[in-house]
Amino acid sequence: MVIELVLMAIKTNKAIKISQKHLLGIQDLSINDVNMILDEAHDFIKVNQSKNKKIDALRGKTQINLFFEPSTRTQSSFELAGKRLGADVMSMNISNSAIKKGETLIDTAMTLNAMHPDIIVIRHQDSGACNLLSQKVNCAVLNAGDGRREHPTQALLDALTIINRKKKIEGLRIAICGDILHSRVARSNIYLLNMLGAEVNIIAPTNLMPKEIEKFGVNTFTDMKKGLKDCDIVMMLRLQNERMTSSYLSSNREYYEYYGLTPDKLEHAKADALIMHPGPMNRGIEIDTNLADDINKSVIKEQVELGVAVRMACLKIFCT
Amino acid sequence: MKKQYFINANIIDPHNSINETGGLIISEEGKIEAVGKKVNTNNLPSREKPIDLKGKYIFPGLVDMRVFVGEPGYEYKENFKTLSNAALAGGVTSVVTMPNTNPIIDNVSIVDFLKRRGRDKSRINIFPCASLTKNIEGNNMTEFGLLQGKGIIAFTDGIKTIQNPRLMSRIMNSAKDIGCLIMQHAEDYELAKNGMINSGIIASKLGLSGIPEIAERILIERDLTLLEKVKCRYHISQLSSQKSIEVIKHRKEIVKFTSGVSINNLSLNENDIGDFRTFLKLSPPLRREEDRIALVEGLKDGLIDVIVSDHKPEDEESKRLTFSQAATGASGIETLLSLSLELYHNGSLKLETLIKALTSNPAKILRIDKGNLSIGNDADFCIVDIGKPWIVKKEKLISKSKNTSIEDKKLQGKVTNTFVKGKELFKL
């Protein structure tokens, strides 16, 4: 039986088991891990479109969602993914929890750990919070965003969306534009897209560009038109409005003028270029509202749809 | 006290330019009676039985210029007793304590308390600093003259920096009038805002805000410019970057000042932070390997005068947090000498250069008669087995707090005995 499995793995060139216990970031994954998750997620797309969306892959398993930061799509996406797989899902409401009474992350983790969950999904405002948590609990930890470090499931769902439309990632030129400095989505996407063989262009004003980002193996641009030249994919990031007060930028309207995605700037990309955005969007600040809704160019809604499939795949793989 | 005789030791005493094989005699009063090659079996009284050190080294007791003690206010992190035991295990016999306690050491009455506690509980020489400004708020200066009269050795805001240039210039004027030493922790707050580690690829990768080297350089440049007008005793507590070294190299030709470096910045770089190791969250932060090498070179060229442990005990609860929430600093007084010896063993620095930066140089800056083996002086010294291999284990540390930056590191060279005023207070 085991030998058969190994033979099958060799034949199909697939890993049989994920190399990591936790999903903390794309940085820790091998290409085999990534392919395994994307293949699994691909199968779940159909499940999610069918009439009966429930399977029992995780029946009897307990999933805890621990969101220290507000979130709509990621939290609901993880909750739905867990439920569709048949897991018992508990979402902690941080505003009513002991955290507010001064409990540390580790103590909260130990408390939850004592309830024997099989998987904890965590989002936290501090970079590295999921790493700390993973050292203290027995179950698998899935990172749903930590500070500005990583947001692995977002990058995976972006990759799945691109593959779904373009049938490949290798050789594509992909622009990531906006507040790169504070973006975990950008970091995870840079690692993943590089790993899968894309050419990555980073577009941002210098104030929003992380130091030495070019060492990640990307091209950097402060001129959006140059950065968009011949791109197959344009990934826009949310401008975090609180940045305005700390003088990263002068104003929303100037930002839109230089870094907002408008039809005339988009012309520099390939004619069949697709627009992506991890949401939530600021219409009229980083993206023209008509472009965001253009069904021929924008795949923003598809990203959300495939997000559930990717999270189902991650839950299933890391939970079992 | 009985007279004590040691022979067959390698003695290094930079203050007296001694670097030779010989012996040491401690008088009945606990003073150095004789030292050097002339002390050998041939000229000792025959009834005495000398201790044969078999080639071990004798160094003057180390003088550590930057040490945080939790007393008063944070006794659970470190008190005078635990600090002195930890220091003795590391061959340190004199420490300069930082004023960042609770309350802050900023007035005469608290100094009296400190002196009494230091005298009653400590087994090593304590030289307390007071703060430059009241409550280290960076607004009003403390009473330098009165405090110095009570035995304050130097003035510093410790972990804080005087940001206001007008205040800094006035502090320098007062320091010049009174003749006291001031020490600056060089960091521009605005440039370093929210920063946790060196600004660069590691910070970008870990998603942490960075502290650019320019935050240090710009403050050093400012202070050294002010110093051109007012010639006071000024010391930069810790340097951390290549660029800062370039600045001080240039400025040394114009003004007189001294500077120090933490053993952490000499031995580690930003890559050691790895997967969010909070014990390596330090101030100034660990920087690139190029910076570390430049610091070692700076020490070699005499641009940097002293090595400090920057011993900052923090309890487990302050470190078992996310990186941004965790306290800054590492415990290091016990490993100061052993970690410094790594630079000798790997050929980076001469043994004499290291010992000078750990003994006679700090003593000279502080104007204290410590860190030497001069005849008639207190017999404060340590005996070191320079080749002895050992591994740093936090549970074996004597300090009350176990936040070492070099857990599991393999070191070579360990203090086997430490003497203060002729008394053996530590034995391995």
In this prediction, residue A101 carries a pLDDT of: 73
User: How much is the average pLDDT of A233-244?
Assistant: 84
DSSP class of B39: -
CB contact (8 A) between residue B322 and residue A124: yes
In this prediction, residue A14 carries a pLDDT of: 54
- Strand residue runs (E) in A51-205: 62-67, 88-93, 119-124, 140-146, 173-177, 199-203
Supply B122's token pair: 């400590």
pTM for the structure as a whole: 0.92
In this prediction, residue A245 carries a pLDDT of: 64
Cα A47 to Cα B69: distance, rounded to the nearest angstrom: 62
CB contact (8 A) between residue A106 and residue B324: no
| Helix (H) or strand (E) run with residue B414 in it | strand B410-420
Q: What is the pLDDT of residues A183-194, one digit of tens each?
A: 999 999 999 999
* Environment class of A42 (CB within 10 Å of its CB; exposed 0-12, middle 13-18, buried 19+): middle
Cα A239 to Cα A287: distance, rounded to the nearest angstrom: 10
Q: What integer best gives the mean pLDDT of chain A?
A: 91
**Min Cα separation B329/chain A (Å):** 19
Q: Which of B204, B208, B319, B320 to mutate to test the interface with A (most CBs of A within 10 A)?
A: B204
Do the strands A173-177 and A233-236 form a parallel or antiparallel pair, or are they unpaired? parallel
**Min Cα separation B209/chain A (Å):** 9
How would you write the pLDDT of chain B (428 residues) with one tens digit per residue?
889 999 999 999 999 999 999 999 999 999 999 999 999 888 888 777 899 999 999 999 999 999 999 989 999 999 999 999 999 999 999 999 999 999 999 999 999 988 888 888 999 999 999 999 999 999 999 999 999 999 999 999 999 999 999 999 999 999 999 999 999 999 999 999 999 999 999 999 999 999 999 999 999 999 999 999 999 999 999 999 999 999 999 999 999 999 999 999 999 999 999 989 999 999 999 999 999 999 999 999 999 999 999 999 999 889 999 999 999 999 999 999 999 999 999 999 999 999 999 999 999 999 999 999 999 999 999 999 999 999 999 999 999 999 999 999 999 999 999 999 999 999 99
In this prediction, residue B48 carries a pLDDT of: 78
Residue B130 gets the label, from left (phi > 0), alpha (psi -120 to 50) or beta, of: beta
DSSP class of B328: P
Whether chain A has a CB inside 8 Å of the CB on B206: the answer is: yes
User: How much is the average pLDDT of A65-89?
Assistant: 93
ipTM over 0.95? The verdict is no
A152-166 helix and A31-49 helix, angle to the nearest 10 degrees: 70
Yes or no: say if B314 and B70 are a contact pair by the CB < 8 Å rule: no
The identity of residue B15, as a single letter, is H
Chain A residues lying within 8 Å of B275, measured CB to CB: 128, 131
Cβ atoms within 10 Å of A78's Cβ, excluding its own: 28
Yes or no: say if B349 and B267 are a contact pair by the CB < 8 Å rule: no
Cα B302 to Cα B279: distance, rounded to the nearest angstrom: 30
Q: Is the pLDDT of residue A243 over 80?
A: no
Yes or no: say if A283 and A306 are a contact pair by the CB < 8 Å rule: no
In this prediction, residue A268 carries a pLDDT of: 97
- Count of alpha carbons within 13 Å of B50, Cβ hemisphere only? 21
Among all residues of B, which ones are annotated catalytic? 310
Q: Of B200, B207, B322, which has the smallest distance from its Cβ to A212's Cβ?
A: B200
Supply A68's token pair: 């220290």
Return the C-alpha torsion angle B40, B42, B46, B49, nearest 10. 30
Q: Of B201, B210, B322, which has the smallest distance from its Cβ to A129's Cβ?
A: B322
The three-state secondary structure class of A177 is strand
Cα A147 to Cα A185: distance, rounded to the nearest angstrom: 10
Yes or no: say if A195 and A25 are a contact pair by the CB < 8 Å rule: no
Cα B378 to Cα B26: distance, rounded to the nearest angstrom: 9
Collect all residues with Cβ–Cβ distance below 8 Å to B46 and sequence separation of at least 6.
Answer: none
Whether chain A has a CB inside 8 Å of the CB on B214: the answer is: no
Q: Is the pLDDT of residue A70 over 90?
A: no
In this prediction, residue A67 carries a pLDDT of: 92
| Helix (H) or strand (E) run with residue B410 in it | strand B410-420
In this prediction, residue B26 carries a pLDDT of: 96
Supply B173's token pair: 């004027």
In this prediction, residue A8 carries a pLDDT of: 56
CB contact (8 A) between residue B210 and residue A211: yes
- Strand residue runs (E) in B159-310: 181-184, 197-198, 210-211, 233-236, 258-262, 306-308
Buried/exposed code over A125-164 (b: 16+ C-beta within 10 A; e: otherwise) = ebbbbbbbbbeebebbbbbbbbbbbbbbbbbbbbbbbbbb
Supply A57's token pair: 């892959």
DSSP class of B61: P
Alpha-helical segments (H) within A24-149: 31-49, 73-84, 105-113, 129-136
| Confidence grade of residue A10 (pLDDT, cut at 50, 70, 90) | low
| Confidence grade of residue A2 (pLDDT, cut at 50, 70, 90) | low
